[in-house]
Structure 1
Amino acid sequence: MRRFLYAENGAVSVYLILIIVPIFLFQAVLIDFARIKAAEKESESAVQAASRSVMSSFDSDLQKRGLYGMVLSQENSEQLFSEVFAKNLSSGVTANAFHFIDTKAVDGGMRVTPVYALASHAIFEGQLLEDMKLKGPIEFSLEIADKFQKSGVKAPFQMGSQFAKNAAEVEKLIEQREDALDEAWHSTEVMYARITTFHLYYQKRISDLDAMANRIGLHTIDELRIEINQVKDQLQSLSNAIHNMDLSMSSMMTASPQSIQAALSARSNLEQQYSTLSQKLNDLEALVQLIIQYTALIVSTKLEVAVNERDILQLQQSIEPVLRLAKQKNDDIRAKLTAIGGSSTSTTSDSQGVNDVFQHVSLIGDNYFYDYQISVASIASLFTAFHLKIESIALYTAANTNQANAANDAYWTLVNDFYSKKSSIEKARMDANDGTKAKKQTERNKIQAVLDKAKQAIGGCSFIQSQSNDEALYNKLQGDTSNLESANVQGFYQKYRQVNAQDVLIGNDVAYDLDKAESTSLRAMDILGVITQASEMLRDELYVNEYALTKFNYRTYGLEKDRSGQAKLSNELVDPGSHQLANQEAEYLLYGFSSCAANISSAYAEMFSLRLAIRTVENLLDPEKELLNVGSPLLVLLVAAAQGAVEAFADMNALVKGESVELSSKLSAAILKLTYKDYLRLFLMLHSDNTKLMARMQALIELETGKDLTQAAAYIQTNATSEIRLWFIPQMMKLFNGSDLLGCKVVGTQCQFNRTAIVAY
């Protein structure tokens, strides 16, 4: 063994082995490492290509509407993905040829996972924006908003809107002040009537008490009762004497005539005395009853005066707070007029004329309220003094009677003087108010007459040729609420709202009607203030709105004409005029009610309101001078609105026929004509609510195409597994598992790659 170890035979071979083997091992590892990296890149490209192939299977019906969604089933999408992935690997090119990189797909390692669908508002909106950017119809919308600025209507619109707000606020304050003054005067009239009654009543009562006191004189009830007893004793004695005389006369049958005559004469004297005493007794007893009545009347008078005083004080207490309220509203009117006067310095000359009405608004001086309160308080105070005077009188002597009459006349003189002066002022005030109210009601009636015509002109959905199936279509869109036990309570709209974690309330919180003249006029003027801000809308919101008017139909779709007089045709791949829900889709998108009539009526009512506002502003620019002098801003507005309503009704008749109507010949410097569709565009700007709008658009798309957008994938994640066979020393390559060096996992003689791709339209 020792000799073998120290022998030099074969030393060169061993040396070469020690040198060559490491080099060979390094080369083998290097070759497999290079193959792995090439296979890794190949797998990455293959999974991307396969993912794009899956996404290329988008639905053609949705694509015609500018939307891209992949509606393949899970099985079909994974099968397509597997096929394309395998064919993009080296082993899929030529199966039996030699490949330096022999990458192949691993069975069961393919997976396609939809992440987001077109039901997502973020995805849906993103695709809308891309579609509208390419086609550019939004420029027309921007042009309209720009024309509103350049046409010169901004200042009149702002003036009209601000005037309406100021008129409504001032008129409300005036009505509150006048109502308070009316209430105060009503209570004052009640006070006057009651005090008049009290004065006459107590005047007679004092006179009666005085007369009773004169009859009673200085007698007291105790003295009278003693005297009554004495008279009764005397009567008893006389009665006994008469009785005894009757007995003695019965025994004088044989007496002389003279004796009998003397006896009869004596008996007659006794009867006369008895009669006199009886009359005296009656007088005394009557006097006692008079004293009792007198005493009772004094007590009842004091009680009645106390009750009447409380009544008067209650009236005073009801008048004073109402007067304070009236004064507060008067002060508010003064402050509001001051603010309007300050802001009017920056207004245009056109608005100065109509704003002159605020200078004629009636303001009441502070002395009016001060004198009113002082007078009412003084009347109540004098009646209290009368009460105290009555309370202090125990016996109505001449002096006390005079004092009581003086106290009774004092409050009456004051209230009579106050009422005679005040009644003429209040009558003039109330007559003026009644006249103004009558004029306002006349104008309201004129407006209401036009509104009634407008409501009839809406005509429901009778203009739509095919509407027999509308109810069923709306049940699909909004859900069938007629039968709560039905499984179809939820509609497409609710589904897409829930998918995006939003409420499922029906409608757009925008409901216009033409019921009340005044509220319709004031609300119409509010629209003008919002219209002037239309150009400040965000671009994305305008794109979404324009998509709604481009892809869907509306009431006058097919009626509008181009410059050559021909019907305007849609350039869309799918003609909106062929949709199931005919001539009402844009209105549904805007208002979101569950019937054609509700949506069409809301659009008509809002459009009429806008035209009414514009026509009202035109008439406000040239108001009648006599009308301004009335001092009622609301009356000025109603007169302008009454004329504007007639003109607006004529405008609506043209608009619903598909004709264009000039925005305003009086307000704008340049001619700007708008159609029914243009007004819908403006309303979409005014009531921008993209989440509800997009949910309704998604519902309409599903209704028309039958495609559930929750299943239309627009964003997917794919996973694939491939492998490459290691040529040299797999165990050595396995040492690199778990590190980022290889990029694959060594399993036996194979190195496997797990790759993920995320692809979206």
Structure 2
Amino acid sequence: MSFWRGADGAVSLYLIVSTAAMLLFTSLLVDYARIAAFDKQTELAAQSGIRSALSAYDQSLYERYGLFGAGGSDRGELFAQAAEHNWLDGDVNHFQWLRIQREASHVDTEEVLGNQVVFTRQVLEEMKYKAPIDFTMEIVSRFAPMSAAMKEASATIGGLEDIKRLYEDREEHLERASELQKEAAARVSELSGALSAASGIVDGYGAYESWRAEDAGLEEDEKPKHAEDIASYSVRSQGDAAAVLSAADSGLEQHADDTAKALSELMAAEQSNAAIAAAAERMRQSQETSGYDKLSDANVAGKDSTSMTAEELSQYGQTRASAEGLVLDEAWFADYRRELNEQLSAYRSIRADSAAFQSVVRSAVSSTGMAAGLNEAWSDLNGTVHRYEAGYSVSGTVMQARKNEFQRRHAHDAERKSNEAAAKTKWSEVKSMLGGLQSDPGQAEQKQAFEEVKRLAADNLRFNQAAGEETGSSPDAGRADDAGDEAKSALTSMGTMFGGMAELLEGIRDPLYVNEYVVHRFRSFDPTKLRGMISDGGQGDRASFSKALALENQEVEYILYGFHEPGANIAAAVGEIFAARLAVRTMEGLIACRALGHPLLILSAAVLYGLEKAIADMAVLSEKGKVQLSKYVPSELTYADYLRVFLILHGSGGQARNSRIIAVIERNTGADLSMAATGLSGEMTSSVNLWFLPGLMRTFTAAGILNGKVKDGRYEKTQTIGSSYG
């Protein structure tokens, strides 16, 4: 007991206990600090490793298409090597605070270039500096000066084409009404035969009276001498009179039917006339805001100037205003309706006089002394018929006046129809040329490449879980048969295109960048290869043309249109270029042909002018590879520039277009973009030796104070890090 109660050695024991506690605490702090340093070192090592793994990119993808996709060396090995180089090797002959060793590591793919969202993101990153400047300076600045004139031309052509159809519809109704009026007048000719037969009634009535008087003066026992003649005259005259009335009745029935039909046609013509008036009024009023306005109002740096004067620009409005001259007054239709009714009334008078004549004939043959009355009735009937014929026969005054009025109204029709026939011939030549571009039998040898990209594009759509979009069966499937309709359609499409340009300038970034990427990174067709095909109406050097249709020579066109027939994409591009040239040249034609006066004649001449000039422009394009935009805007546009414009016109293209871009890249590089990683995640398990208290550290990991685990005297932890090309 004295031992425990003694004071000797108390200080030493206290120091031993205190020192042990301090050593325990210090050991804990040292290992904890080493673990914290270990965590930081392994995190930095993992970051370095993932960056090293991403540094191995597919060089051909980047050099040719500006895209980053992991490739080359083994990514897992790069990750491990880079991580290990971030700490010193354990064999180094000096003290190491941390003896870290890698236990395991691997790299996983998180994003791939075949994912269209990822692909588009890289394209936007590639083009974000260059595309806006290029597009604004090279394309928009050239088209912007034409906006006002193209808007006016579009409104003029569109309105006049609508009015032309209404005008032709009205004139067809009026022509049918006139034909029915002539047919009704021709009913008199059927009456003329009966009148000719009945003409002997009056002439023979004197003899008839003398026969009756002579027989009446005979004695009772005398046999009548003229009984047969009297009976014959009586039967014949009454029959002829009845035939006249029957012919008049039949003619009146048919005449009334013809008149009713003519009035119906006149009403239909009046409705078309009202539609013409409404269309002319719409053209006269100010035009609604359109794509042309959007581009015209946009602030475009470096905008070219136009040589079109304000006076020339005003002529579009004058042409539209002149369309009001095609409208017929309501009084005109009222007069024509009255004319038709008066004609029917005139024929009813013939029928009435025919009935009166028959009645007089009956009275005359039943008695004598009716010569004066019979002659008067006959004169009245003949006079009525002659008056009808004088007014309504082919050479009659009424019909001649109607004919003269029709000829005055159609004075320009011959020239207009001549222009339309010439335009139709030209348009047929264009359609034949476009058909020749896509129907070359020598294209079979080029189809293999198109079938390959078709398969690759379909694979990419499936990879992105998207259904394929139909591209159409033919590049000219919807083309109009009428040149005027095609000019109207071309100007409408140009309006859409101008609006698209304006919207891109206003901030619709993504489609512009992708479009410009397509133009900058892929090959388009050499327009000089079209030289013979265009100049010879599609019948040029087919062998040379077919050879030029290889996919690598028309990548932009394939991406734009998506046809898998070698010539179809080129035909579509040429067709749209022609439509653009037709729109511009028709705009010019409206000014050049303004002096013709009649609005529909101006229209036909402008369309013919546009066709002829557009065909000539296509020849120039195939010779030089570029053509002047307009005589009012001297800037030149290349074939590739037009493709850039059409990429706007066709919108973003959606997943189908992106799949075609990816398909072409995969075919050209041999890469599978669905396997080309753009985002990686690396996982590395590493450990560090524990110096003092592994058991206590194991307790800390079990309690969740530390995130790793203790194994065989070492603290082990797994680090996960991710990164991408952007």
TM-score, normalised relative to structure 2: 0.71
SS of residue in 2 equivalent to 1:439? helix
Partners in 1 of 2:387 and 2:688 — Cα distance? 121
| Cα displacement string for residues 668-702 of structure 1 (whole angstroms, at most 9, x for unaligned residues) | 3xx41222222222222322334344332222212
Q: 1:385 to 1:644 in 2, by over 3 A?
A: closer
The answer to whether residue 143 in structure 2 is matched with residue 177 in structure 1 is no
Q: Tell me by how many angstroms 1:333 deviates.
A: 1.8
- Whether the 8 Å CA contact 2:708–2:718 is kept in 1: the answer is yes
Structure 1 counterpart of 2:110, from 111, 114, 117: 114
Q: Tell me by how many angstroms 1:610 deviates.
A: 2.4
Q: Tell me by how many angstroms 1:350 deviates.
A: 0.9
Q: Tell me by how many angstroms 1:51 deviates.
A: 2.2
- Whether the 8 Å CA contact 2:50–2:721 is kept in 1: the answer is no
Partners in 2 of 1:406 and 1:753 — Cα distance? 125
Q: 1:211-360 to 2 correspondence within 5 Å?
A: 318-343=261-286, 348-357=310-319, 358-359=321-322
Partners in 2 of 1:332 and 1:623 — Cα distance? 26
Q: Tell me by how many angstroms 1:598 deviates.
A: 1.9
- Whether the 8 Å CA contact 2:461–2:659 is kept in 1: the answer is yes
The answer to whether residue 645 in structure 2 is matched with residue 688 in structure 1 is no
Q: 1:580 to 1:654 in 2, by over 3 A?
A: same
Partners in 2 of 1:47 and 1:621 — Cα distance? 72
Alignment partner, residue 163 of structure 1: 156
Partners in 1 of 2:529 and 2:586 — Cα distance? 28
Tell me the amino acid that sits aligned with residue 67 of structure 2: Y
Structure 2 counterpart of 1:609, from 567, 574, 579: 579
SS of residue in 1 equivalent to 2:624? coil
Q: Tell me by how many angstroms 1:143 deviates.
A: 1.0
Alignment partner, residue 60 of structure 2: 61
- Whether the 8 Å CA contact 1:354–1:623 is kept in 2: the answer is no
Q: 1:580 to 1:316 in 2, by over 3 A?
A: closer
Structure 2's unaligned 5+ residue stretches are 201-220, 294-308, 365-373, 531-546
Alignment partner, residue 142 of structure 1: 136
Structure 2 counterpart of 1:675, from 638, 657, 677: 638
The answer to whether residue 90 in structure 2 is matched with residue 126 in structure 1 is no
Q: Tell me by how many angstroms 1:597 deviates.
A: 2.0
| Cα displacement string for residues 24-55 of structure 1 (whole angstroms, at most 9, x for unaligned residues) | 55444433433333333333323322222222
Alignment partner, residue 269 of structure 1: none
- Whether the 8 Å CA contact 1:184–1:319 is kept in 2: the answer is yes
Q: 1:518 to 1:16 in 2, by over 3 A?
A: same
Tell me the amino acid that sits aligned with residue 460 of structure 2: Y
Alignment partner, residue 439 of structure 1: 415
The answer to whether residue 482 in structure 2 is matched with residue 493 in structure 1 is no
- Whether the 8 Å CA contact 1:661–1:674 is kept in 2: the answer is yes
- Percent sequence identity over matched residues? 24
Partners in 2 of 1:411 and 1:713 — Cα distance? 99
The answer to whether residue 515 in structure 2 is matched with residue 549 in structure 1 is no
Q: Tell me by how many angstroms 1:655 deviates.
A: 1.6
- Whether the 8 Å CA contact 1:591–1:599 is kept in 2: the answer is yes
Q: 1:317 to 1:545 in 2, by over 3 A?
A: same
- Whether the 8 Å CA contact 1:192–1:416 is kept in 2: the answer is no
Q: 1:45 to 1:197 in 2, by over 3 A?
A: farther
SS of residue in 1 equivalent to 2:65? coil
- Whether the 8 Å CA contact 2:315–2:594 is kept in 1: the answer is no
| Cα displacement string for residues 73-132 of structure 1 (whole angstroms, at most 9, x for unaligned residues) | 9xx85632552365156476658986544444343x6341333x2223322222223323
SS of residue in 1 equivalent to 2:718? strand
Q: 1:97 to 1:709 in 2, by over 3 A?
A: same
Q: 1:567-606 to 2 correspondence within 5 Å?
A: 581-606=551-576
SS of residue in 1 equivalent to 2:630? coil
Q: 1:446-525 to 2 correspondence within 5 Å?
A: 446-451=422-427, 469-478=445-454, 491-500=455-464, 501-507=466-472, 511=476, 516-525=482-491
Structure 2 counterpart of 1:709, from 673, 694, 706: 673
Partners in 2 of 1:138 and 1:191 — Cα distance? 72
Q: 1:374 to 1:433 in 2, by over 3 A?
A: closer
Q: 1:744 to 1:605 in 2, by over 3 A?
A: same
Alignment partner, residue 38 of structure 2: 39
- Whether the 8 Å CA contact 1:118–1:124 is kept in 2: the answer is yes
Structure 2 counterpart of 1:757, from 719, 722, 726: 722
Tell me the amino acid that sits aligned with residue 572 of structure 2: S
- Kindly report the root-mean-square deviation, in angstroms, between the aligned alpha carbons of the 2 structures: 5.6
Q: 1:198 to 1:646 in 2, by over 3 A?
A: closer
Alignment partner, residue 618 of structure 1: 588
Alignment partner, residue 70 of structure 1: 69
Partners in 2 of 1:531 and 1:45 — Cα distance? 52
Q: Tell me by how many angstroms 1:408 deviates.
A: 13
SS of residue in 1 equivalent to 2:717? strand
Q: Tell me by how many angstroms 1:624 deviates.
A: 5.2
Structure 1's unaligned 5+ residue stretches are 209-272, 479-490, 561-576
Tell me the amino acid that sits aligned with residue 366 of structure 1: E
Alignment partner, residue 654 of structure 1: 620
Partners in 2 of 1:413 and 1:747 — Cα distance? 129
The answer to whether residue 333 in structure 2 is matched with residue 366 in structure 1 is no
SS of residue in 2 equivalent to 1:661? strand
Partners in 2 of 1:660 and 1:559 — Cα distance? 13
Tell me the amino acid that sits aligned with residue 87 of structure 1: E
- Whether the 8 Å CA contact 1:493–1:696 is kept in 2: the answer is yes
- Whether the 8 Å CA contact 1:460–1:600 is kept in 2: the answer is no
Partners in 2 of 1:416 and 1:80 — Cα distance? 110
Q: Tell me by how many angstroms 1:163 deviates.
A: 1.6
- Whether the 8 Å CA contact 1:744–1:754 is kept in 2: the answer is no
- Whether the 8 Å CA contact 2:53–2:76 is kept in 1: the answer is no
- Whether the 8 Å CA contact 1:702–1:709 is kept in 2: the answer is yes
- Whether the 8 Å CA contact 1:613–1:641 is kept in 2: the answer is no
Q: 1:187-198 to 2 correspondence within 5 Å?
A: 187-193=180-186, 196=188
SS of residue in 2 equivalent to 1:555? coil
SS of residue in 2 equivalent to 1:742? coil
| Cα displacement string for residues 342-393 of structure 1 (whole angstroms, at most 9, x for unaligned residues) | 33999942133354344263221112333444565677799999999999xx
Q: 1:335 to 1:450 in 2, by over 3 A?
A: closer
| Cα displacement string for residues 557-611 of structure 1 (whole angstroms, at most 9, x for unaligned residues) | 8999xxxxxxxxxxxxxxxx99963432222233222233222222223223322
Alignment partner, residue 219 of structure 1: none
Aligned length: 647
Q: Tell me by how many angstroms 1:437 deviates.
A: 4.3
- Whether the 8 Å CA contact 2:184–2:255 is kept in 1: the answer is yes
Q: Tell me by how many angstroms 1:60 deviates.
A: 1.6
Q: 1:317 to 1:514 in 2, by over 3 A?
A: closer
The more displaced of 177-186 and 446-455 is 446-455
Partners in 2 of 1:515 and 1:17 — Cα distance? 110
Alignment partner, residue 84 of structure 1: 81
Tell me the amino acid that sits aligned with residue 353 of structure 1: Q
Partners in 1 of 2:52 and 2:349 — Cα distance? 105
- Whether the 8 Å CA contact 1:90–1:99 is kept in 2: the answer is no
SS of residue in 2 equivalent to 1:674? strand
TM-score, normalised relative to structure 1: 0.68
- Whether the 8 Å CA contact 2:107–2:680 is kept in 1: the answer is no
Q: 1:661 to 1:728 in 2, by over 3 A?
A: same
SS of residue in 1 equivalent to 2:175? helix
Structure 1 counterpart of 2:601, from 631, 635, 639: 635
